[in-house]
Structure 1
């Protein structure tokens, strides 16, 4: 329904709450502004038939407008149904063709001739060979190779178990839409529905607590197994693993599931296939422990898991000082999560995390805590942990961080008002009504008495008159009749740290309009400058690159926030680099790089600093303004203009 480029533009417009310039969209999609303008005409033509349009605002950019919610929703549903590539689809872009080829090769049991495939895709053999190089890179992650036989063509070849993982990865709908509704043609739809019904019946019968994503993974796995068994391909399993698995409860459940599938689909599963389904169940089982007593919980969790959890929490607290060390709920939830997670990791299973980008973008401190957890697992168990698993662990750690906020004291302020006690009282009531228990107003005063007061117990001052005198706490100037902009100014206090952004960066740490081509060039450049300033040692750059290898730190919106794998500096600060043109940072374009450094052994509340950083990098408008800056003065002026706390 939509080409990939126009789909990307549409996605950006759909998510934006402010107009987007053609310049911004061109950078995200990696085309010229002129191409964007042409694409906009095509997109506008489509949208005009589906209850929506694109409004062009002079000097500001493009904004999506919805006139008929019903028609618009119908269009979205149609787009999502067509989003996953089917084998009947003729892809145009290189990315589309690579996804098409991955699926084609994974689902083909016969040799495929290069000429036939080139004709099917309406491309030259040389273009196809270039695309196949990218396909090979994707397959290489699973140790899968492309076998070529003269006069026959080519097909994929690899360990059967790894082929399964790869098929599961690339055949699953990327948006986790219900796979049974025809999105994947592994088996006829009736057989897919039958597998789904069988699995759900057993989930209910054995009271298994498995997420929707895990159920979809299991359905796909069994469908893949059926298809390949019918073609004479069987998965192998080590005898030691089989001996261990047959004693698990999940093996008996897997055997019963297989009996029903065999009967329904007329296919015979060997014992290794049953064991493989049991591994899936071991890797997805979850136990609800909130109602368990202490003795029940200890009986469920063995000593290895319990002590591993303690080591993870201790390591996270030592490195990041999040105040979660004594959180009992975290200990329980992490123990329960780690038991099946370790099974997944030991058996090399690939659990997808559809929330990964959101976790990385909006909870960077929690994701970094997850990276530290992964290092502990590597050290203790010699298990490599991928970023999908890191993301799930980060959710548990992030929940603990959020719980610490529930115990935060309210922010304290006084009101300075020159128009009388009545106005001050009205302002007091309005503030209490708007902010409730989050804000504690200690009193009101006239300006001339302010110099006689102690301000040490205050977080900020709310004033209806300008205060030019430099005070030890921030002053927020508002109107006596509190308006929307005034509310924004006050709310910024709750979402940012007491000390402003300028605490974390300075002129010698801001590098603008650089011409680097790769992320490695940027990281080496920033690392060398920090080393020359005596802020880091020689090992710093390698530590940042090591962290990138675990999980790329590009978060969308043209932003990357690289950082060392563990804190290495004596203070918390940012080193910022903007680029003349976006570069590819793994799979995302990046033009704004903030190298984050967190103070070693710090007891400060780091979450507040992260909140400031996230509020900056999540703003498309602010990032676009910062990317245009050519001097440090311009750079700081943009902050002052865009952040209400500075006004």
Structure 2
């Protein structure tokens, strides 16, 4: 409403507001009162005048626009309304009258009809076995009880804040106090059985039990379960039985009771309940289904082959992945894919590692015919990131070897050495300090980095040794650059070069092409931008006909937007005829999913050059740290100017 009032030049009538917002006239009148209460602190007011409507009186509309731009709640209003209707339909014993829904949500019949259509579309996409049935002005949801509960479970978990550990819901069906009591019971049982589950998993199980309690009161029971758990041997059944007794115990017939316990056990199978470190790799291989072992081994093997990253000896990664994939397959079977609370952080802080996780997307699609979500991929990425950090710690224990070439007096050089040790501590190993004429002696010690206090010219420092000129007292900028160099060296310990990758040109400069440089391009959508540059790549023979479709498929899986309004669209699989990077800069940011984008790097990579992707992501990561660097590239008017800016960044 505030957005409409700000944009209106004059009065806007109540019916007009009602139609645009999809609510009743009564809701408009109520909301104006609430809005005036909020606006009072900004010296603003919505004035109502009979016969004319409403107008916003404000001396500072820019301030209101700023506040509005920071408030994202209105974006989710329609989704919340859909969820509220579904909750109502699944928590009433009989079908629900449309008038009752209108009155409860303060919406018009037109809005309700739109929301009913939205519910149908959502069910068709995600829960096709559930049907929205309508008869004589009443509606209800019809489907398998298990599926109906899982739908409700998914909706309620969207209202759970993992950081605050609170379920933000309070209506006549669900009380947060009831949730907290059930969660405490689940926590006690988790402690009793030494379960290794996180707080969000405890909350998810508690939400399911809360839903089951409500549904059982409506006499909505689990009639038949396709996957029964072995009650004599399976620990999941025993835990499920105890949860049932503590939380759901009712006067069910024995058959229904067994079904309910089995269903709780199935719900428990969606998470990793036990720490797998007590098992050896060979024991796990014997106990786990062969399909799960093959999926994990394929993932690790593909990462090694494509990116020269060998994680095959990391037992912790292997065990973590097989238990995760087992739970993931169970979740997929019941359409219970989870939302990751740190998805954006994983995508932006571990951009390249998230790319590695896409391998399992391809494996699941080919082996099981299942398309995973980006949230599920982020959990795989977290496993891989942890393994890489373990490798970095292992290879970096002795510190990065640094040789200092100093033209200064020994006392000054010792001061420099002390400063370096103080700043970088155990991350470095200073193998010695040398005058310029003894640089050959320094090179014989095989340093990873050479730091010099003066210019070193006409001396053959090998390309694999990084060099940096520094001052006696390192500035903040020098410290940041050196820290970045040290991290690069430690990363190179992890990514061992294969013979296949030795001939790959690592310079990102040579991957840009004048014919694929589009500065200050006027486009309105990402599809328009991607279509244009993909067609040029196709005409040049760099890619095949299906390149654009594969890029859009990747965007559908997970948008490729990073910080500072950068996007890096590319296919899931490397399928180009030539490794090349197309560039589009935009005078005005375009919408890209939930984000805005001004600089686009379209990546086309040959299958045998996938290892090169790491160099691209290293370059992009430097841009993500500094908006000024992005602005320089965006404002480059010529290809020559763009390349000069890239050289400075590289």
Q: TM-score normalised by the shorter chain: which range applies?
A: 0.7 to 0.9
Tell me which residue corresponds to 1:142. Answer: 127
Q: 1-side partners of 2:161 and 2:204: how far apart?
A: 13
Displacement of 1:629:
4.0
Does residue 96 in structure 1 map to residue 88 in structure 2? no
Tell me which residue corresponds to 2:524. Answer: 517
Does residue 494 in structure 1 map to residue 486 in structure 2? yes
Q: Secondary structure at the match of 1:579?
A: strand
Q: 2-side partners of 1:115 and 1:456: how far apart?
A: 83
Displacement of 1:117:
6.0
Does residue 478 in structure 1 map to residue 470 in structure 2? yes
Q: Secondary structure at the match of 2:468?
A: strand
Does residue 225 in structure 1 map to residue 212 in structure 2? yes
Q: Secondary structure at the match of 1:331?
A: helix
Q: 2-side partners of 1:42 and 1:307: how far apart?
A: 50
Contact 2:561 2:597 in 1 (8 A): yes
Listed as ranges, the matches of 1:622-641 within 5 Å are 622-636=629-643, 638-639=645-646
Q: 1-side partners of 2:581 and 2:393: how far apart?
A: 28
Tell me which residue corresponds to 1:261. Answer: 247
Listed as ranges, the matches of 1:241-390 within 5 Å are 241-242=227-228, 248-263=234-249, 270-293=257-280, 296-390=283-377
Contact 2:551 2:571 in 1 (8 A): yes
Query: Aligned pair in 2 of structure 1 residues 275, 623: CA closer, same or farther (>3 Å)?
Result: farther
Does residue 166 in structure 1 map to residue 173 in structure 2? no
Q: Secondary structure at the match of 1:391?
A: helix
Contact 2:306 2:611 in 1 (8 A): no
Deviations 1:524-583 (A, max 9, x none): 333223333333333433332333343333345433322222223477553332334333
Query: Aligned pair in 2 of structure 1 residues 208, 629: CA closer, same or farther (>3 Å)?
Result: same
Deviations 1:588-620 (A, max 9, x none): 333332223445345958645533322323544
Query: Aligned pair in 2 of structure 1 residues 578, 317: CA closer, same or farther (>3 Å)?
Result: same
Q: 2-side partners of 1:309 and 1:572: how far apart?
A: 28
Contact 1:246 1:275 in 2 (8 A): no
Query: Aligned pair in 2 of structure 1 residues 387, 452: CA closer, same or farther (>3 Å)?
Result: closer
Does residue 195 in structure 1 map to residue 202 in structure 2? no
5+ long unaligned stretches in structure 1 = 4-33, 45-78, 84-90
Q: 1-side partners of 2:231 and 2:336: how far apart?
A: 15
Q: 2-side partners of 1:427 and 1:413: how far apart?
A: 13
Q: Secondary structure at the match of 2:471?
A: coil
Query: Aligned pair in 2 of structure 1 residues 249, 415: CA closer, same or farther (>3 Å)?
Result: closer
Contact 2:581 2:603 in 1 (8 A): yes
Higher deviation after alignment, 196-205 or 456-465:
456-465
Q: 2-side partners of 1:603 and 1:438: how far apart?
A: 30
Displacement of 1:214:
1.2
Give the structure with higher Rg (CA).
Answer: 2
Query: Aligned pair in 2 of structure 1 residues 345, 229: CA closer, same or farther (>3 Å)?
Result: same
Displacement of 1:261:
1.8
Tell me which residue corresponds to 2:418. Answer: 429
Displacement of 1:219:
0.9
**Match for residue 534 of structure 1 among 533, 541, 547:** 541
Does residue 543 in structure 1 map to residue 572 in structure 2? no
Deviations 1:100-157 (A, max 9, x none): 332243234376676776677677665665566555544442235554445x355555
Q: 1-side partners of 2:622 and 2:142: how far apart?
A: 47
Q: 1-side partners of 2:192 and 2:77: how far apart?
A: 42
Higher deviation after alignment, 508-517 or 350-359:
508-517
Q: 2-side partners of 1:620 and 1:147: how far apart?
A: 52
Q: 2-side partners of 1:462 and 1:489: how far apart?
A: 12
Higher deviation after alignment, 216-225 or 502-511:
502-511
Displacement of 1:194:
3.2
Tell me which residue corresponds to 1:562. Answer: 569
5+ long unaligned stretches in structure 2 = 4-59, 493-505
Query: Aligned pair in 2 of structure 1 residues 413, 598: CA closer, same or farther (>3 Å)?
Result: farther
Q: 1-side partners of 2:88 and 2:147: how far apart?
A: 14
Per chain length, whose mean CA-contact separation is higher, i.e. which structure has more relative contact order (CA < 8 Å, sep 6+)? 1
Displacement of 1:451:
10
Could you state the TM-score of these two structures normalised by the residue count of structure 1?
0.74
Name the count of aligned residue pairs: 564
Contact 1:569 1:599 in 2 (8 A): yes
Q: 2-side partners of 1:470 and 1:538: how far apart?
A: 49
Tell me which residue corresponds to 2:498. Answer: none
Contact 1:414 1:460 in 2 (8 A): yes
**Match for residue 451 of structure 2 among 462, 486, 498:** 462
Q: 1-side partners of 2:231 and 2:370: how far apart?
A: 19
Query: Aligned pair in 2 of structure 1 residues 256, 417: CA closer, same or farther (>3 Å)?
Result: closer
Q: 2-side partners of 1:306 and 1:230: how far apart?
A: 42
Superposition RMSD in Å: 4.1
Q: 1-side partners of 2:303 and 2:449: how far apart?
A: 31
Q: Secondary structure at the match of 1:241?
A: coil
Could you state the TM-score of these two structures normalised by the residue count of structure 2?
0.74
Contact 1:544 1:564 in 2 (8 A): yes
Q: 2-side partners of 1:427 and 1:534: how far apart?
A: 54
Query: Aligned pair in 2 of structure 1 residues 611, 381: CA closer, same or farther (>3 Å)?
Result: same
Tell me which residue corresponds to 1:50. Answer: none
Displacement of 1:359:
1.7
Q: Secondary structure at the match of 2:621?
A: helix
Contact 2:406 2:435 in 1 (8 A): yes
Q: 2-side partners of 1:374 and 1:471: how far apart?
A: 46
Q: Secondary structure at the match of 2:572?
A: coil
Q: 2-side partners of 1:506 and 1:448: how far apart?
A: 42
Displacement of 1:235:
4.3
Displacement of 1:216:
0.8
